[in-house]
Amino acid sequence: MRMPIMVANNLNWAASRLYLGGSGVDELDAGASPGGISIDSLAKARLLIVTGKGGVGKTTICGALSLAAQRAGKRVLLVEVGTKENISALFGADPLGYDPKPLTDGIDGMLLDPYLALQEYMVGQIKIKAVVRFVVENNVFRYLVGVAPGWRELITLGKIWVMEGLTRGKRDTRPLYDLVVVDAPATGHGISFLKVPKVVLDVLKFGPIKHYTKMVQGLLLDEKRTRLLIVSLPEEMPVNEALEIYHASRDFLKIPLGPLLLNCMYPALGGPGLESTLKKLERGNGPKLPSNSKELINANALKAAARAYQERRRVQLESAQRLESEVDLNVVHIPYVFTNRFDLDTLKRISGFVGGPFDAGEEDSG
């Protein structure tokens, strides 16, 4: 069922309405604990919104989370928000479009392009597809909607709400997807992306926009259905941004937070044995190095690399500690994977590290 909604006041012509449809609340048990969110509550979530600074691994983590959920028997929809997508390559699948299509067994993917969401709405309203396409693809139109604040976020969140509420059929009211994973825009945009419903609700006194924004916000704030997952790298700037969105979410947005994912942690290279060997090598009384000069240079380079690796790991652990001491959340460490080919197998390996939250709610921990 589709319902009309008025969108951003500034769009005073063709784009003045969008649809939001789908069902309302579902009947999940509360899995969250007050304050920090227990890690196993992810097993019951229906919407995961993944955010973080640009390049921290949001898309990778979304893929890994989807695989973990699929292993736990869930039907997953992976949504990349924007006009370009990176997900299909990770799965070795065909490029994604606006309509969901399989990435692999049990996981569909879609590229949520806000302009296409707007077009979809307008087709629903105006009925003549060719006219709508002409208008939406027109540069002047794109400029006008490009400068209108809020519509993109609202229509994107509206479409996510629609997808979360889809049922398998008219009579079969079971959800089409057990879990929707959203690869949200990078943090700077991510905060404004998630802020719009609250701002709209604060500003508007009444009317259809208020009514339907309330439905979208109802999903975002629902502890039984939604988790915001922040991804960070164990480095100063990404940690700063992660803390920023953590505080914004806890104090202002009020979107229930899930575990924080600290991506690209260097795995321990070796135990105390390695450390003492490195020290001996540096003092020149370690194991004999090859006498051939070329190999000697390589051996020295390797020694320096091992030292740099250890140092990098030490700094990473400091960042991790800083994050852990400031957030009241589980912080899940995800290792840096050293590989020449970042493919589905790599993604499966990473999914083993994010799978705990799903497995915790299942009989079989896979």
Ligand X SMILES: Nc1ncnc2c1ncn2[C@@H]1O[C@H](COP(=O)(O)OP(=O)(O)OP(=O)(O)O)[C@@H](O)[C@H]1O
List residues near ligand X by CB under 6 A. Answer: 54-60, 86, 186, 263-264, 334, 336-337, 342, 350
Query: Closest approach of Cβ 86 to Mg ion, in Å?
Result: 5
**Contacts of Mg ion in 63-102 (CB under 5 A):** none
User: Tokens representing 154?
Assistant: 């609202």
| Cβ-contact 265, 318 below 8 angstroms | no
DSSP letters, 155-167, are HHHHHHHHHHH-B
Choices 57-65, 96-104, 112-120, 290-298; region in contact with Mg ion by CB under 5 A = 57-65
Measured from the CB atom, the residue of 154 and 332 that comes closer to ligand X is 332
CB of 281 to ligand X, least distance (A): 28
Nearer to Mg ion, 122 or 262 (CB): 262
**Cβ count near 325 (within 10 Å):** 7
59 contacts Mg ion (rule: CB under 5 A): yes
Q: Report in angstroms how near the CB of residue 143 gets to ligand X at its nearest.
A: 25
15 or 56: whose CB is closer to ligand X? 56
Are the beta carbons of 342 and 59 closer than 8 angstroms? no
* 221 vs 337, beta carbon nearer ligand X: 337
Residue 73 near which of ligand X, Mg ion, none (CB within 5-8 Å, type-dependent): none
CB atoms within 10 A of CB 351: 24
344 binds, among Mg ion, ligand X, none (CB under 5 to 8 A by kind): none
- Binding marks (x or -) toward Mg ion, 1..40, rule CB under 5 A? ----------------------------------------
End-to-end CA distance of the chain: 38
- Measured at the CA of 359, the angle between CA 356 and CA 360, to 5 degrees, comes to 80
Look at residue 226 and give the partner it binds from ligand X, Mg ion, none, a contact being a CB closer than 5 to 8 Å depending on partner kind: none
239 φψ region: left (φ > 0), alpha (ψ -120 to 50), beta (else): alpha
CA distance 124 to 168: 21
CA distance 22 to 160: 10
Q: Which two tokens stand for residue 361?
A: 């709610």
Distance of closest approach, residue 258 Cβ to ligand X, in angstroms: 17
Where does this chain touch Mg ion (CB under 5 A) — which range of 59-67, 233-241, 246-254, 354-362? 59-67
Q: Which does 186 bind (CB under 5 to 8 A by kind): ligand X, Mg ion, none?
A: ligand X
Shortest Cβ contact with Mg ion: which residue?
A: 59
Pick between residue 213 and residue 232 the one whose CB is nearest to Mg ion.
232
The DSSP 8-state label assigned to residue 40 in this structure reads G
Is 271:292 a contact under the CB 8 Å cutoff? no
Q: What is the rounded (10 degree) CA torsion for 251, 153, 67, 268?
A: -50
Residue 86 C-beta: closest distance to ligand X, Å: 6
* Dihedrals phi, psi of 316, to nearest 5 degrees: -60, -45
Instruction: List contacts with Mg ion (CB under 5 A).
Output: 58-59
